[in-house]
Chain A
Amino acid sequence: MSGSAYGTTAIALVIMATMLIGAFALRLSRTTSDFYVASRSVSPWWNASAIGGEYLSAASFLGIAGLILVYGADMLWFPVGYTAGYLVLLVLVAAPLRRSGAYTLPDFAEARLESRPVRLIASVLVVTIGWLYLLPQFVGAGLTVRLVTGAPAWVGGLLVASVVVFSVATGGMRSITFVQAFQYWLKLTALAVPVLFLVIAWQADGAPTTGSGPPAFPGRTTVTVTDGVRVTVVDPVAAVVDGTVDGTAYDHEPVTLDAGEHRVAPDTELTFAAGATVPHAESLRAISNDLWSTPLTGAGGRDHPVYATYSLILALFFGTMGLPHVLVRFYTNPDGRAARRTTLIVLCLLGAFYLFPTVYGALARLYTPDLLLTGRADTAVLLLPERLVGGVAGDLLGALVTAGAFAAFLSTSSGLTVSVAGVLSQDVLRGSVRDFRVAAMLAVVVPFALSLLATSIAIADVVGLAFAVAASSFCPLLVLGIWWRGLSSTGAAAGLLVGGGLATAAVSATIAGVDRGGWAGALLAQPAAWTVPAAFLVMVVVSLRTPSRVPSGVGRTMVRLHAPESVALEH
């Protein structure tokens, strides 16, 4: 069997396991409540595994390693932020949110603020964040299927979209819980087992480090450019070319690429000698290895690295609580105390998982620098086992990583689809199980279509932007709603509109590829540092000016949010 056959088998097995577990749980799923929140009968360990399974997306599994490969030390904040976000969620919202007894974020908004308009704004934001987060999952699936089988990019996205719609529409939340708990452990295994072999292979290779020069090919390397790419060469580099470069066709001829830009046509093979400097895809900023390994050197591919770092930290730390698929999970805890314990287990599970992407990213800088040329950095995790271990063992480990990646696309997409479909079916349709199924279709179609247009995005970057929107809208709503009696419905609406609106605008400009130079570019690329404070400020100031719009039942709501379950309240 070839490497691609192993990979294809792995993908098929993950999909089958997902469907089978889903179908098994379907027999247990009876009511609308089962559909949305598994009737709140899931134990903390199951629930924590499911949260971990749902949370660890394409960005965590593939994207972080890809960003570390390209930009180095500053990207280490991604895994830190993804975990720390759960600590912030734990201390600020976990238990009160569960006690609020709402199904979705819009439910919470309506219960706390007693206002339909605020609910509608929250619904629109859930759908926006959900779509923004689903988009990179489909892109990642496309990349993976293409790498493994050579099929066009849309095949992977379509595959994930279909499986997700099927399992969500038939099983609802109950089946999703079991599927995702399984997928967390699959993902952890799929990164942890190969990493042992990779580190042993690295040691056997003499444990090389990246050194200080520009990234170089570790051995004689043939790079196949399938899509065509524009590359930047700093120092002239020799290559044997089979295909077309700068409009000239070559047939296995030696060519010297001079300093400057070069166009490499689709289906061109470039062979470089060991130690040759790697030409960079134009879309990635080339950096030398000593800048790569040092934080705050501007190596993040961005100007103003200190601002960018703090803004990213803010987005990730405070965005997690505002992710729609994360919050839905908390309603499946039996009570507030269980919600806290679940979150604590989640912290352990995430901490264990996030040890690995960093190792992959650093090894990728050493052993797969050709991805800097093709611009496909997000595939580094999938390629490393084959490159570094090789043989049948390498193929098998590669298949395991592919399986893990597919688990990541499926689980995150399912969770997001449940949340987006939940909101669509309740606020746009009429909320029956049948409407839920229609809504699941709607939830998936839009981001899938977008993924066909945006194929060259960095997965973890777009997910970072989804966090920025969540941090600028739902974070202030939840924090102020839970801890401050004075939040008025007008204040909440204004804050959601200003924070969510500004962040969405900045994010759209970045994805559309508006110029990234200077301060303006830095502020747009990492908006959280100014949009989060703006949202808080607007919510507080407007609330203080509209005290009459503080809901009359706020006292009762606060009691419900904060009173421990051990106190039997008489009403």
Chain B
Amino acid sequence: MSDQQPRRVRIVSPRTRATRSATGRPVSREIGEQTIVGEVYMGSLVRVQLRLAIGILLIFTVLLGGLPLLLLAEPQLADVQVLGFPLPWVLLGAVVHPVLVLGGLLYVRQAERNEHDFSEVVR
């Protein structure tokens, strides 16, 4: 029996991908095998994506869903003329469509970024 004290070891994060993947099971395997670890990772991705979806839907609920309420509260807005046409016609007939496309574009970019970050982590 040695009375020698164990040598003091400093533990730091390796901060490199190579070391980490060499140390154990890849997270993708945890997910594939549905271990608790895997479920935690998957759950976090689902939550992030759901939050994104709800965020986009909320923006459009306010923008589009608020329009009838706004016209109800301020009926004189319906008489405002834009380029010779009533404002509601211009908004609903033309302006909404590019705004919807923009919303879709933002969503696709962010959703793909979320998935990219996820696959970086679980690799």
Interface residues of A (CB under 8 A from B): 73, 76-77, 79-80, 83-84, 86-88, 90-92, 95, 207, 293-296, 306, 309-310, 313, 337, 340-341, 343-344, 347-348, 350-352, 354-355, 358-359, 362, 483, 555-556, 558-559, 562-564, 566-571
Q: How far is the CA of A566 from the CA of B107 in the complex (A)?
A: 19
B28–A571 touching, CB < 8 Å:
no
Known contacts A293-B89, A563-B42; A95/B31 CB under 8 A: no
Q: For A83, A86, A344, A562, which residue has the most chain B Cβ atoms within 10 angstroms?
A: A562
B: contact size bracket? 35 or more
CB neighbours (8 Å) of B92 from chain A are 73, 76-77, 79-80, 358
Interface residues of B (CB under 8 A from A): 26, 28-29, 31-34, 38-39, 42, 45-46, 49-50, 52-53, 56-57, 60, 64-65, 68, 71-72, 75, 78-79, 84, 86, 88-89, 92-94, 96-98, 100-101, 103-105, 107-108, 111-112, 115-116, 118-119, 122-123
Question: Can you list 8 A-B contacts with CB-CB less than 8 angstroms, sorted by A residue number?
Answer: A80-B92, A83-B100, A294-B86, A313-B64, A559-B38, A562-B49, A566-B115, A570-B32
Besides A86-B104, A293-B89, 11 other A-B contacts (C-beta < 8 A):
A83-B100, A91-B53, A294-B79, A296-B68, A343-B104, A347-B100, A351-B101, A562-B45, A566-B116, A570-B29, A570-B32
B100–A562 touching, CB < 8 Å:
no
Closest chain B CB from A294 CB (angstroms): 5
B119–A566 touching, CB < 8 Å:
yes
A90–B88 touching, CB < 8 Å:
no
Closest chain A CB from B14 CB (angstroms): 22
Known contacts A340-B112, A351-B98; A568/B50 CB under 8 A: no
CB neighbours (8 Å) of A84 from chain B are 60, 64, 96, 100
Q: Which 4 A-B pairs have the closest CB atoms?
A: A351-B97, A569-B32, A564-B115, A76-B92
B103–A87 touching, CB < 8 Å:
yes
B28–A569 touching, CB < 8 Å:
yes
- Residue of A76, A362, A569 near B31 (CB, 8 A) is A569
Known contacts A310-B68, A340-B108, A347-B104; A568/B28 CB under 8 A: yes
Q: How far is the CA of A80 from the CA of B75 in the complex (A)?
A: 21
Q: How far is the CA of A90 from the CA of B98 in the complex (A)?
A: 16
CB neighbours (8 Å) of A359 from chain B are 93
CB neighbours (8 Å) of B39 from chain A are 555
Closest chain A CB from B45 CB (angstroms): 6
CB neighbours (8 Å) of A310 from chain B are 65, 68
CB neighbours (8 Å) of A293 from chain B are 86, 89
Q: How far is the CA of A293 from the CA of B33 in the complex (A)?
A: 60
Q: How far is the CA of A355 from the CA of B46 in the complex (A)?
A: 36
Closest chain B CB from A268 CB (angstroms): 35
B32–A73 touching, CB < 8 Å:
no
B57–A88 touching, CB < 8 Å:
yes
CB neighbours (8 Å) of B93 from chain A are 76, 79, 355, 358-359
A483–B96 touching, CB < 8 Å:
no
- Residue of B75, B86, B118 near A564 (CB, 8 A) is B118
A354–B68 touching, CB < 8 Å:
no
Closest chain B CB from A486 CB (angstroms): 13
Which A residue sits closest to B110, measured CB to CB? A91
Known contacts A76-B89, A295-B88, A296-B68; A555/B108 CB under 8 A: no
Which B residue sits closest to A346, measured CB to CB? B104
CB neighbours (8 Å) of B79 from chain A are 294
B108–A90 touching, CB < 8 Å:
yes
A358–B65 touching, CB < 8 Å:
no
B68–A295 touching, CB < 8 Å:
yes
Closest chain B CB from A291 CB (angstroms): 11
Known contacts A87-B60, A296-B68; A559/B31 CB under 8 A: yes
Which B residue sits closest to A568, measured CB to CB? B28
CB neighbours (8 Å) of A362 from chain B are 89
B94–A355 touching, CB < 8 Å:
yes
Which A residue sits closest to B71, measured CB to CB? A295
- Residue of A295, A340, A570 near B78 (CB, 8 A) is A295
CB neighbours (8 Å) of A340 from chain B are 108, 111-112
Closest chain B CB from A386 CB (angstroms): 24
CB neighbours (8 Å) of A337 from chain B are 112, 115
CB neighbours (8 Å) of B31 from chain A are 559, 563, 567, 569
Q: How far is the CA of A359 from the CA of B94 in the complex (A)?
A: 10
CB neighbours (8 Å) of B52 from chain A are 91
Q: For A295, A558, A568, which residue has the most chain B Cβ atoms within 10 angstroms?
A: A295
Known contacts A293-B86, A344-B104, A570-B33; A559/B42 CB under 8 A: yes
Known contacts A293-B89, A351-B98, A570-B33; A564/B119 CB under 8 A: yes
B78–A294 touching, CB < 8 Å:
yes
Known contacts A90-B107, A296-B72, A563-B31; A351/B100 CB under 8 A: yes
Q: How far is the CA of A6 from the CA of B57 in the complex (A)?
A: 46
Q: How far is the CA of A321 from the CA of B1 in the complex (A)?
A: 72
CB neighbours (8 Å) of B65 from chain A are 310, 313
A483–B111 touching, CB < 8 Å:
no
CB neighbours (8 Å) of B72 from chain A are 296, 306
Closest chain A CB from B86 CB (angstroms): 6
Known contacts A90-B108, A555-B34; A83/B118 CB under 8 A: no
- Residue of B28, B50, B97, B103 near A567 (CB, 8 A) is B28
CB neighbours (8 Å) of B57 from chain A are 88, 91-92
B34–A556 touching, CB < 8 Å:
yes
Which B residue sits closest to A341, measured CB to CB? B108
CB neighbours (8 Å) of B111 from chain A are 91, 95, 340
Known contacts A76-B88, A306-B72, A344-B104; A83/B97 CB under 8 A: yes
CB neighbours (8 Å) of B50 from chain A are 483
B88–A344 touching, CB < 8 Å:
no
CB neighbours (8 Å) of A295 from chain B are 68, 71, 78, 88
Which B residue sits closest to A88, measured CB to CB? B57
